[in-house]
Amino acid sequence: MKIMFETQGPPPFVAEILTPRVRFTDLSAGYPGRPVLCQLDAEITALTITALVGPNGSGKSTLLGVMAGVIKPTSGRLHYAGDRPPAFVPQRGAVADALPLTVRQTVEMGRWGDRGPWRRLTRRDQATVDQAMERLGITELATRQLGELSGGQRQRALIAQGLAQESDLLLLDEPATGLDPEARDRIAALLTELVADGVTVVQATHDLEAARSADACLLLRDGQLAGKGHPEHVLTATTLAQIWQPV
């Protein structure tokens, strides 16, 4: 049985300023021989933090991959309202420790979408990289190898790479998993600052504390949308018990 929890919409005067940054309708996606997402309908409101929440295998990472453009939908429609492609920050475990990359080289990869991997970065590109590293507090780590960093430092380097893309849509896959409380709090504060600066943030997370502090929440189970709306109304004890109950 499909469970759906949805909060009531905002008053008309509020709804007028809640512009969708991303909209998907009847969206289905997956991998060869393994469907994952099934007919999702939702919107990502601009200038908010939206949390994707659900058990392992619920489809959070797949939905992020679809929004990032690295996974093609099998059916349905996906609409973007912005001019820039999304910036996608994968789980830090997806980046191999063995890659001989410094922190600065890692962040510079964020400029490849505009410049390409083989062209020399311009002064403006370098300034963008400098600003991203400064914002994440990793300037002093510029020459360190990525594989030498702590979990929090490495995550900040990957987020800086995302910022260097200069997109107004930032997609993060489990950005705080495995980090200590101080590192988690630092990333949470940064995401709030980015929204104030005009960036829409979507993060997949297992951290219910982080999800409850988001502006909106999409709750997934078995590739279906089980709830959407404000976390206060979606992430209730009753709802979570139903979502995480054995199949």
**Domains within the chain, CATH numbers bracketed:** 1-86+206-247 (3.40.50.300)
- E strand spans, 87-135: 87-89
Spatial separation of the C-alpha atoms in residues 39 and 6, rounded to whole Å:
16
What is the pairing mode between strands 49-53 and 73-80? unpaired
Which is nearest to 160 in space by CA: 198, 131, 124, 120?
A: 131
Spatial separation of the C-alpha atoms in residues 94 and 141, rounded to whole Å:
21
pLDDT digits (tens, 9 = 90+) for 184-238: 888 899 999 999 999 999 999 988 989 999 999 999 999 999 999 999 999 999 8
177 in Cβ contact with 91 (< 8 Å)? yes
Is 154's pLDDT higher than 50? yes
- Predicted TM-score (pTM) above 0.75: yes
pLDDT-derived band at 146, boundaries 50, 70, 90: confident
Nearby residues of 200 by Cβ (< 8 Å), 6 or more positions away: 21, 22, 44, 45, 46, 47, 48, 50, 168, 169, 170
pLDDT digits (tens, 9 = 90+) for 38-78: 999 999 999 999 999 999 899 999 999 999 999 999 999 99
- What pLDDT shows up at residue 105? 94
173 in Cβ contact with 89 (< 8 Å)? yes
What is the pairing mode between strands 200-204 and 169-173? parallel
